[in-house]
Structure formats: C-alpha cells, structure tokens
Amino acid sequence: MAVARIAVVAGDGIGTEVVAEGRKVLDAVLPGVEATEYDLGAARYNRTGEVLPDSVLDELAQHDAILLGAVGDPSVPPGVLERGLLLKLRFDFDQYVNLRPSRLWPGTAGPLAGVKPGEVDLVVVREGTEGLYAGAGGVLHRGTPAEIATEESLNTRHGVERVIRDAFERAGRRERRRVTLVHKTNVLTHAGGLWARTFAEVAAEYPDITTEYQHVDAASMFLVTQPQRYDVIVTDNLFGDILTDIAAAVTGGIGLAASGCINPERRYPSMFEPVHGSAPDIAGKGVADPVAAVLSVSLLLDHLGHPEQARRVSEAVAAELAGRKPGQSLRTAEVGDRLAELS
Ligand code: NAI
Ligand code: MG
C-alpha cells in the first residue's frame, strides 16, 4: 500500500517546472508515495474549455493531499481559473486554514536593512472560505453608465471561530506563543465586531498565549518596519492575501513563499502550493526557484503526519539558501537535485 496518495496538479508555466523538483524531494524523503498527475489549468482550458470537471473533483477527493504548482496564463480571461479551479477547490474541500509561513532564513538577505537573517519567523493563518472571496455579489446594468457592482464580505461565527481556534492551537506549539488578530474593526464594524468578539472569547480559553490586535493598515506598516515582532497572525481572506505578499517580499521574495490550504479535520484533501503564479515571463527557461514548491512539500509532509521528513526538507532548504551568493543565477533542476540529495 502507498504511504500516501498525492494528486499532482502541476498546472501552467513554471508550475510544471517547480512541481517536478518538489516531487524529486518528496520521493527522496518519503519513498512509496503514489502520485497521480492531473492535467488542469490554462492549457486544458484552452484545449477543451474545461476548468474543473465534476468527475475530476470526485477523483481529487480520493487523495490524501494535493500538490499544486500554479495555474494561469495571459490567454485566459481573469477569474476563470482563479474562481473555477483554485477557489473552487478551497471552498469545496473546506480548506478554511490558508497557512502561509514566512522566514528570513539564516544566511539569506532580505530587502530590509535593519532586519537580520534568522530574526523573522512568522506564520499567517488566513481564513480561506469566507470573506470577500465567497463570491457574494453581482452586477446590474453592465457596461452602462448605470452599472452597479457589489461584492459582499461573508463572515460566519462558525467560520471565524474555527480559524481563530486553529491559530491559537498553532501558537501553542510555537516558542513565542503569540497571536495577533488583524482586521479593520474601527471601520468594518459588522464583520470586525464578530471577529473581535470571537477572538476575545477563544483567547480566554488559552491563558498561556499572548494576544494583540492590530488594524490592517498598521500591520502592513509593521510588517515592513518590524516583521520580527510577529509570531502567528490570524486574519480574514482578503487581508491575509495582501499581508502574505508583504511578508513574502520582506523575507526573500516570492520564490521562497510556500502555502497550505488546509482542511484540519481531514474530511477532504488539503492542498499545498507555492504562493507564486505561473510566471509567464520566465516560464520554460529553467530558472524558476523551486524552493517555494519544495517548502510546500515540507508543509504537506507535516500535515500528513511525517514531521521528521518535513524537518529534513526545511533543513535542506536552509542549507541551500545559506550557500547562495547574492545575485547568483540558479537552475531549477540543479536546485531540486541538491535539495533531494540534502533531504
Ligand atoms: P507570478 O507570481 O507568476 O510572477 C510575479 C513575478 O515573480 C514574475 O516576475 C516572476 O518571474 C517572478 N517569480 C514568480 N515565481 C518565481 C520563482 N519561483 N522563481 C523566480 N521568480 C519567480 O505572478 P503574476 O505574474 O502576477 O501572474 C502570472 C500568472 O499566474 C497569472 O495568470 C496569474 O493569474 C497566475 N497566478 C496563479 C497563482 C496560483 O496558481 N496559485 C497565484 C498567483 C498568480
Ligand atoms: Mg495572492
């Protein structure tokens, strides 16, 4: 029997290049994984008009986890793959914890003069199934001067409470044991009130965890001026999307940023993917950094109950990054080979 059944959606552009390296590392560190490839993304859409057929969704549901590269291409209208594939998987598989860790790895340099390598180690727990991304809204009188567009943020007590609980549980397993709630409660008083009240109630159950609250604009500033101050940040879908790009930017860039879309109850497969997209500008050149995909494999291993293997992969990444020289060019497959070897 396979140790794990993984569905692989390599996708488009550099997605296919970095996922190949992620799989090298996965096979090296956990032999016996059964990986099944699924052809989804811009290429399939352009060929057949299909985004995510129900039959494929049913098959994906039979796996322990999904490893995704990236989907998207300038030839596909905006939203088709984002809503029809990525968001559909997150929603249908109830992946309500969107986990996005950021570290300024020892031996690497970020863009911030005052921040030393090793000092930043934070994780954003972004709500993944509600908020402004729920698709509640519509357009009337499209293309006329009378056009009206609405986009509503949906926040349920159930949805907010479960992601806040997850953040506290994670903080309890970390050294600093600190959770920061980020929202905009002073202006978005309806949703913000629900988040703030729920946060306070859950916090009362975790007396050994330090808590704080920040408005999203202040948090955006502090992520740039003082990213060291954060441990676990919990926030809604849109704020989390934006804050994690800032966090990635101050810790060595998008080529290193990994993520997990997690269904903690394991009723559905969780999905692990680099934060970056298909990068049409460098696709096919073999120069994409596979580290984000490989770190996503580390998150996958951790989720599937292989913490020792997960640690070996992240230590291999640490060694790889410590050996890089500023401005040095890299080859995707060579980095993957080294990481598979080191893991
Ligand atoms: P992108 O993340 O693909 O690229 C942004 C910039 O970062 C580009 O200059 C690219 O060359 C560079 N970059 C990204 N990953 C890199 C890596 N591993 N190594 C070195 N450089 C890297 O974002 P962009 O250009 O906005 O989107 C391109 C396509 O990807 C679009 O179709 C977009 O919709 C899609 N996309 C898909 C995502 C997903 O599948 N989860 C996430 C983000 C974008
Ligand atoms: Mg984003």
pLDDT tens digits along 80-121: 998 899 999 999 999 999 999 999 998 788 889 889 988 999
Interval 126-182: pLDDT, tens: 999 999 999 999 999 999 999 999 999 999 999 999 999 999 999 999 999 999 999
Q: Could you tell me if 236 and 268 lie in one domain? A: no
Task: Write down the pTM of the prediction.
Answer: 0.94
Classify residue 96: in a domain, yes or no. yes
Residue 241 CB less than 6 A away from ligand 1: no
Closest-lying ligand 1 atom to the alpha carbon of residue 273: 41
Q: Which of 196, 218, 249 is the last residue of a domain?
A: 249
35 & 93 share domain? yes
ipTM above 0.95, yes or no: yes
pLDDT higher than threshold 90 for residue 199: yes
Residue 5 belongs to some domain of the structure: yes
**Residue 133 and residue 170 in one domain:** yes
**In terms of domains, do 235 and 125 share one?**
yes
Which of 12, 276, 321 best tests ligand 1's pocket when mutated (most atoms within 8 Å of CB)? 276
Whether residue 63 has its Cβ less than 6 Å from ligand 1: no
- Residue 195 and residue 78: Cα distance in Å, rounded? 30
pLDDT at 126: 98
Q: Among residues 216, 249, 282, which one ends one of the domains? A: 249
CB 254 within 8 A of CB 275: yes
* Residues 275 and 217 both lie in one domain: no
Q: Which domain holds residue 311?
A: 1-103+254-343
The residue whose C-alpha atom lies closest to atom 37 belonging to ligand 1 is 277
Across the range 276-285, mean pLDDT stands at 96
Q: Are strands 4-11 and 33-37 parallel, antiparallel or unpaired?
A: parallel
What does the pLDDT read at residue 335? 97
Yes or no: say if 42 and 12 are a contact pair by the CB < 8 Å rule: yes
pLDDT at 108: 83
**Average pLDDT of every residue of the chain:** 96
**What local confidence, expressed as pLDDT, does residue 11 receive?**
96
Q: For residue 32, how far is its CA from the centre of ligand 1 (angstroms)?
A: 31
* Ligand nearest to C-alpha 245: 2
Q: Are residues 98 and 197 in the same domain?
A: no
Q: What is the pLDDT of residue 109?
A: 80
Backbone CA torsion sign across 259, 226, 167, 190: negative
116 within some domain: no
Query: Total domain count for the chain?
Result: 2
User: What is the pLDDT, as a whole number, of residue 114?
Assistant: 86
Q: Are residues 163 and 198 in the same domain?
A: yes
End-of-domain residue from the set 205, 227, 249: 249
In short, whether 72's Cβ falls inside 6 Å of ligand 1 is: yes
pLDDT at 328: 84
Do 125 and 245 share a domain, yes or no? Answer: yes
The pLDDT score that the predictor gives to residue 107 is 79
Percent residues over pLDDT 70 in the chain:
100
CB of 17 within 6 A of ligand 1: the answer is no
Residue 95 and residue 209: Cα distance in Å, rounded? 25
Q: How many angstroms separate the alpha carbon of residue 86 from the centre of ligand 2?
A: 12
Is the Cβ atom of 273 under 6 angstroms away from ligand 1? yes
Q: Is residue 317 part of a domain?
A: yes
Percentage of the residues of the chain whose pLDDT score is greater than 90: 92
Residue 109 lies in a domain: no
Q: Which residues are catalytic?
A: 133, 184, 217, 241, 245
What CATH number did the domain enclosing 7 receive? Answer: 3.40.718.10
Lowest pLDDT segment from 13-22, 112-121, 230-239: 112-121
How far apart are alpha carbons 123 and 268 in whole angstroms? 23
Predicted pLDDT of residue 304: 96
114 domain-assigned: no
Residue 323's contacts (CB-CB under 8 Å, 6 or more residues apart) are 107
Query: Do residues 282 and 217 share a domain?
Result: no
The pLDDT of residue 253: 87
Q: State residue 131's pLDDT score.
A: 97
